[in-house]
Structure 1
Amino acid sequence: MNKFMLNITASSGEYYQGDCEDLVLPISDGVYGIQAGHSPVLVAIHMGILHFEVNGESRDILVGDGIAEVTPAYVMVLVDSAERPEDIDKNRAEAARIRAEERLQHQQSMHEYYQSKIALDRAMQRLQAAAKYRR
């Protein structure tokens, strides 16, 4: 299978750089698949599971919002956060979910409301990923 270069960088630093055979990005209305030779495009990434394959081995990463620059030979992924689902602290994610739900129940400005909704979405995504990928 043809390969392309993949670089995944989160706000905390570079997460992965190397060969890739197949890449599936989470986007707002589903997923977006990429293989070597793909036409150039910019893709908006929505928080979710990014899936890629290296030498026949599948890897999954929970990523935050971001963008991907796709060319025929490489893909550059820039995201807010990136973590392996099996590394998620389920108790910490549950506590974040509870805090976000409590904040949503209080009167707040529109900005605070949207920040609380984002925090709740992130906590729920982390909990779902942890539950699905926990071994």
Structure 2
Amino acid sequence: MAKTFHLEIIATDRIFFSGEVEHLVITAIDGLIGILAGHEPLVTSLPTGELKYLVDGEWKYAAISEGFIQVMPDSSIILADTCELPEEIDIKRAQEARERAEERLRQKQSIKEYYETQAALNRAMNRLKISQKHFK
């Protein structure tokens, strides 16, 4: 059996996951990070993206929005705005959110509004990508 470490994924509305995992792969600001038991300590911010973790030999996938990760040799904690399994994603709602964001991007906006709209579009596109890629 592979070495494991404790992973906690905490979203603003719930504890998404808490348990032992063999491997974690997550998109960080600098690119993909793979984490195994015994990883060097690390703290970094996370953009909207995909996360996958290996539990008992089976990969689990999730769509995650902005957050942070703290990695220690025997545990990792992810704090994120949202985290959803592919089967939890409401595809119609995500498509509507994408359309609203695309429409707002076509309008004249302040810099702040532009970045907020771009973030909303990124979240919607990520949710659609993850649901189409992993939900059968």
Aligned partners of 1:60 and 1:130: how far apart in 2? 10
Aligned partners of 2:31 and 2:42: how far apart in 1? 17
Aligned partners of 1:39 and 1:29: how far apart in 2? 16
- TM-score w.r.t. the length of structure 1 is 0.95
After the TM superposition, list the runs of 4 or more consecutive aligned residues in structure 1 that deviate by more than 2 angstroms. none
Q: Does 1:57 align with 2:58?
A: yes
Query: 1:124: Cα distance to partner?
Result: 0.9
Name 1:22's counterpart in structure 2: 23
**Does the Cα contact within 8 Å between 2:62 and 2:130 map onto a contact in 1?**
no
Please list, as runs of the form range in 1=range in 2, the aligned pairs for 1:1-135 lying within 5 A after superposition: 1-135=2-136
Q: Aligned with 1:62: secondary structure?
A: strand
**Does the Cα contact within 8 Å between 2:98 and 2:125 map onto a contact in 1?**
yes
Query: 1:29: Cα distance to partner?
Result: 3.7
Aligned partners of 1:52 and 1:43: how far apart in 2? 18
Query: 1:65: Cα distance to partner?
Result: 1.0
Aligned partners of 1:126 and 1:94: how far apart in 2? 9
**Does the Cα contact within 8 Å between 2:7 and 2:18 map onto a contact in 1?**
yes
Q: Aligned with 2:92: secondary structure?
A: helix
Letter in 2 for 1:110: I
**Mind listing any 5+ residue stretches in structure 1 that lack a counterpart?**
none
Deviations 1:46-76 (A, max 9, x none): 2111110111111011111111111111101
Deviations 1:8-53 (A, max 9, x none): 0011121111101100111134210000011111122121111101
- TM-score w.r.t. the length of structure 2 is 0.94
